[in-house]
Amino acid sequence: EIVMTQSPATLSVSPGEGATLSCRASQSINTKLAWYQQKPGHPPRLLIYSASTRATGVPVRFSGSGSATEFTLTISSLQSEDFAVYYCQQYNDWPPLTFGGGTKVEI
Amino acid sequence: EVQLVESGGGLVQPGGSLRLSCAASGFIFVTHGMSWVRLAPGKGLEWVSDISRGGGTAYYADSVKGRFTISRDNAQSSLYLQMDSLRDEDAAVYYCARLAPGISKFFDNWGQGTLVTVSS
């Protein structure tokens, strides 16, 4: 099973600042990585797939990068609606499909 | 617009059973694999199971293997999860999620979720 590790667990940021979230895979997953955003009481929303491709409708302030075992989600100039929990998910080797533990971005 | 609407959650005693349903609309159901993903209180997302477009292939997380059964009815555009021998640790919000087209297994659309509570 591929283990996904996200850091930090919590990130405190002020509106207008940037944020960098990390995701590490226990073995190479090429670029088979997705990022999701989840707000309390809402389902997850796909942000990024193939490590760096924005999903339809996702603002350009969200960008993904990385390959093999190290990945980054960058949010430039955080807006109020960006405060949420972010998850990475690998789909290179399954089953199982595995998620990271999440990073909470808070004010 | 893609819509996934789950139902069937509720309160069940340990050892009991529940059947979750997911009604899909806004897309050609048979062209997508489908999945169940859960979010337990205080925890992160956990993939539970997925099923191929035709329904002939299914995969399960080890934590539910032998207790849960995923199925689909393409004529009704519906996905199901039969959950038997429920345990305390199965308590979670269960999401129906659509798998992206092709062989890439990420989730491009999600339902609102249905809450499963396991308690005596």
Q: Between A34, A96, A100, which is nearest B106 by CB? A: A34
Residue B29, classed as helix, strand or coil, is helix
CB neighbour class for A58 (10 Å; exposed up to 12, middle 13-18, buried from 19): middle
Q: Which of residues 66-85 of A touch B (CB under 8 A)?
A: none
Q: Give B113's contacts in chain A (Cβ within 8 Å).
A: 43
For residue A45, the distance in angstroms to the closest alpha carbon of chain B comes to 7
The upper half-sphere exposure of residue A40, i.e. CA atoms within 13 Å in the direction of its Cβ, equals: 6
Cα separation, A63 vs A53, in Å, equals: 8
Q: Are B95 and A43 in contact (CB < 8 Å)? A: yes
Q: Give B68's contacts in chain A (Cβ within 8 Å).
A: none
| Overall average pLDDT of the A75-93 stretch | 96
| Residue B120 reports pLDDT greater than 90 | no
**Closest C-alpha among B75, B91, A33 to residue B83:** B91
| Residue B103 reports pLDDT greater than 90 | no
Sheet with B78-83: list strands edge to edge.
B3-7, B18-25, B78-83, B68-73
Number of H helices, E strands in chain B: 0, 11
Residue type, B24: A
Cα separation, A42 vs B113, in Å, equals: 8
Residue with tokens 């940021």: A13
Please tell me the predicted confidence (pLDDT) of residue B102.
85
Q: Are A97 and B105 in contact (CB < 8 Å)? A: yes
Please tell me the predicted confidence (pLDDT) of residue B104.
87
For residue range B21-80, what is the model confidence (pLDDT) as tens digits? 999 999 999 999 999 999 999 999 999 999 999 999 999 999 999 999 999 999 999 999
For residue range A13-39, what is the model confidence (pLDDT) as tens digits? 999 999 999 999 999 999 999 999 999
Q: How many residues does chain A have?
A: 107
Percent of chain B with pLDDT over 90: 96
* A34 reaches B (C-beta below 8 A): yes
Q: Give B100's contacts in chain A (Cβ within 8 Å).
A: 49
| Overall average pLDDT of the B108-119 stretch | 97
Q: Between A42, A49, A94, which is nearest B100 by CB? A: A49
| Residue B105 reports pLDDT greater than 90 | yes
For residue range A37-71, what is the model confidence (pLDDT) as tens digits? 999 999 999 999 999 999 999 999 999 999 999 99
Please tell me the predicted confidence (pLDDT) of residue A107.
86
Q: Indicate the helix (H) or strand (E) that contains B12.
A: strand B10-12
